[in-house]
């Protein structure tokens, strides 16, 4: 089993900096009315980016191995959150958007499927608690 470590340090109020084993710093913050300075991403928002970044890495790598040429690629993420505390995400939708010519739908669908069911560890962790759906578009 691999042990991972992270470090978090308060800057002021609920403004924090943190780093992990990769030794890269990230800033997290909250709104001013909650003790923050509204200067950085919220911790809960990082979950959405972690999910998108994990699956994006898988999908792009799989498509490169299949020699699919992408001009560009993006993921649009939307999430529903419950009103009462703890205000957790209840549903997340990922829209994969592929830009390029002659992109095979079968290759895209297989890459997304492999990421969602086999490779993306963030999906594997989050889907135990949150409904995660996906769709895709190909833009030529």
Whether the full predicted model's pTM is greater than 0.85, yes or no, is yes
Q: How confident is the model at residue 7 (pLDDT cuts 50, 70, 90)?
A: very high
Share of the chain above pLDDT 90, in %: 99
Q: Rounded mean pLDDT of the chain?
A: 96
83-99: average pLDDT = 97
Question: Any idea what the Cα angle at residue 51 is, between residues 49 and 54, rounded to 5°?
Answer: 100
1 has pLDDT over 90:
no
Q: At what angle do helices 105-114 and 43-65 cross, to 10 degrees?
A: 130
Contact by Cβ (8 Å): 126, 47 = yes
Q: What is the pLDDT of residues 51-87, one digit of tens each?
A: 999 999 999 999 999 999 999 999 999 999 999 999 9
20-36: average pLDDT = 95
């Amino acid at each position: 089993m691999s042990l991972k470590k992270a470090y978090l340090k308060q800057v002021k109020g609920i403004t924090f900096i943190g780093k992990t084993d990769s030794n890269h710093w990230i800033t997290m913050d909250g709104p001013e009315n909650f003790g923050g300075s509204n200067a950085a991403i919220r911790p809960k928002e990082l979950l959405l980016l972690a999910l998108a970044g994990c699956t994006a890495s898988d999908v792009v790598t799989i498509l490169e191995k299949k020699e699919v040429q992408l001009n560009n690629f993006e993921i649009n993420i939307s999430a529903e959150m419950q009103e009462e505390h703890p205000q957790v995400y209840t549903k997340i939708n990922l829209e994969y958007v592929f830009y390029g010519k002659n992109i095979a739908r079968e290759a895209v669908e297989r890459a997304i499927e492999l990421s969602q069911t086999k490779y993306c560890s963030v999906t594997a962790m989050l889907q135990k608690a949150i409904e995660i759906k996906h769709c895709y578009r190909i833009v030529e």
